[in-house]
Structure 1
């Protein structure tokens, strides 16, 4: 059977986190770049589908194709390493240190941003015919997304920041569930089905994903969106990164580690009651 039990895939999670800490700089950057680029392309695809069909649900149904591709190709997203790498540190794997974990996170962040930004430039060229005309309908939609999810939050002040943070937490709760769910199967079809469901939920619900935003917001700025780089960093990217870390590590990595990897002993079972011999009534 292709199903992998929770205790087995919990060990795979810790092993994967350990492996990422010791991955070379070159490999980490390449895999992160490709992950950011593929996820950005999937976001562009989903926005295009939504604009052309007028139905956001169809876009959300198709968006996970990008996540499935990058996972099956062995590429790394920041949201995934936020969940997996700390488990190797928590498990005190040999040679895994805080410095090594932060190195991995930093390299993956840079690689993801470079990949997403590359696709942002490519898409800006496509939707403006090389900046020779105004953005088409897809380009305009991308620009409005950037405005609504930066200055839109800022207009609500502290309440907007709280909403942004909670959406980021919920996002990586779902995305990291997709990462872990793929480990529940040894077949490609099983992995794809397991990943598809939580990724669709996060995208349709409008949760905040730091790598998707590395595409949407630079694209919005390139296409004339009415917000600034400071708006993007303060009212989206930085709180989103922190929320993604909290969501993935707390609600996925730590929970599975605590109950399936470091399983507590079972409670004592009651001794079976031995049947007593029947007492014959006195004559």
Structure 2
């Protein structure tokens, strides 16, 4: 840490006036990031809520093909966690509770890959209701994202089932891995509607709490530990995750067609006859509905606690957007007349980013193109591209904390 502080002081002594303006801005941004890396405290819940809202806006305005591909990856990743769980819990003699606990721990692989590697997971995207509640995205954008991601997750899961089946992974331990896959799937399709629905609610409460905790994390290790306990809990308790079931049940259906698996399991084909497409859909419907309810509950409750008053005040305020965005001495609309041209352009960009979600998404994805029409100096463009809050505040005044978090999370395109 002493070395880190020493390096920071040396960097601050650099004569930035000799550097090009854009490089000076980037250097300042790097210094801010260095300070953030040295911070071990997690973000407070109020900042987490703003970040949740901002990420939801990014998702709502995302490119359909990008979302689809990321959705396929998420289905594949969750399936890998399910596959790992199936293997580890096969023929294990450590007691019921510990077996469930161990299965939950290894299943965490799926969400860890989704969060850290980057993917679009239907159950986590239930938190987008916060962005909708704030009016940042349309209801059609919310449902479009959910629909695309859900079916993309299904494709990714089925692709993994296909690969795993032909890999003959299920013949391990004298076909006992396949028998375990059959048993897991059979238990799932045997659930009645309401138990499956209730387990779906409880499952996604825990999944979305894991994602919520990740919004407060500042490092890879933070995120892994944020995921570990909620996900382990839902798996150990036997709750139902629609995307995980897109791997578990099709894999069980494939196993039900293998005579050797039935022989080792000691069951007949008639005893697993309900392991079919109808049984698969019969499980997915209540579980998916339950997942939506559980995830929506978490997103809504944190929106009500941390964002409702602020968003209501914004909606009620009959004044320009920038009159309510700055703390301390605020810019009033009549003062804008006396601002220099560049500052006016900067405020114009921030105003459009605040009010136009499509422009906001474009600014995050391709800032150079988005800013092309604005008369901005290189320093201003660099600050907007990098989310350099400090530089922006030096030009337009002190930003309030929600806007600071919004800029950082939006312009860095953070994902959950």
TM-score by length of 1: 0.83
Q: How much does 1:263 deviate?
A: 5.0
Shift of 1:56: 3.1
Residue 241 (1) aligns with residue 288 (2) = yes
Specify which of 107, 125, 143 is matched with residue 63 of structure 1. 107
Instruction: Identify if the C-alpha distance between structure 1 residues 12 and 128 changes in structure 2 by more than 3 Å, giving closer, same or farther.
Output: closer
| Aligned-residue offset at 1:228 | 2.0
Contact 2:48 2:216 in 1 (8 A): yes
In 1, the alpha carbon distance for the partners of 2:168 and 2:102 equals: 21
Partner residue, 2:212: 180
In structure 2, C-alpha distance between the alignment counterparts of 1:65 and 1:217, rounded to whole Å: 19
**How many corresponding residue pairs?**
250
Match of residue 221 from structure 2: 189
- Structure 2's unaligned 5+ residue stretches are 1-38, 94-98, 257-271, 311-416
Match of 1:253 in 2: 299
1:124–1:139 CA contact under 8 A, matched in 2: no
Measured against aligned partners, the alpha-carbon deviations of 1:68-106 in whole angstroms (never above 9, x if no partner) come to: 1221122111001112x221111011xx21111111111
1:80-139 CA distances to partner (integer Å, 9 max, x unpaired)?
Answer: 1112x221111011xx2111111111110111001111111122223378x9x9x82111
Match status 1:86 vs 2:129:
yes
More relative contact order, 1 or 2 (CA 8 Å, 6+ apart)? 1
| Structure 2 match to 1:231 | 279
- SS, match of residue 77 in structure 1: coil
Q: Is the 8 A contact 2:49 2:306 kept in 1?
A: yes
Residues 121-160 of structure 1, C-alpha deviations (whole Å, 9 max, x = no match): 122223378x9x9x8211121112222211x22xxxxxx3
- CA distance in 2: counterparts of 1:209 and 1:241, whole angstroms: 8
2:203 corresponds to 1:171: yes
Which has the larger displacement, 62-71 or 206-215? 62-71
State the 1:222 CA deviation. Answer: 1.4
Note the alpha carbon deviations across 1:8-39, whole angstroms, 9 max, x for none: 01000011111101110111011111111011
Residue among 197, 207, 221 paired with 2:253:
221
Large movers: runs of 4+ above 3 Å: none
Written as runs of structure 1 = structure 2, the 5 A alignment for 1:1-283 is 1-2=39-40, 3-54=42-93, 55-83=99-127, 85-93=128-136, 96-127=137-168, 136-150=175-189, 152-153=190-191, 160-224=192-256, 225-226=272-273, 227-234=275-282, 236-250=283-297, 252-263=298-309
Q: Distance in 2 between matches of 1:167 and 1:107?
A: 24
8 Å Cα contact 2:100-2:235 kept in structure 1? no
Contact residue 127 and residue 138 of structure 1 kept, 8 A: no
CA shift, 1:52, in A, is: 5.0
CA contact under 8 A between 2:204 and 2:241: conserved in structure 1? Answer: yes
2:225 partner SS: helix
CA distance in 2, matches of 1:61, 1:192: 11
Kindly provide the CA deviation profile for residues 211-256 of structure 1, in whole angstroms up to 9, marking residues without a partner as x. Answer: 000001111111215322112212x101111000000111x11111
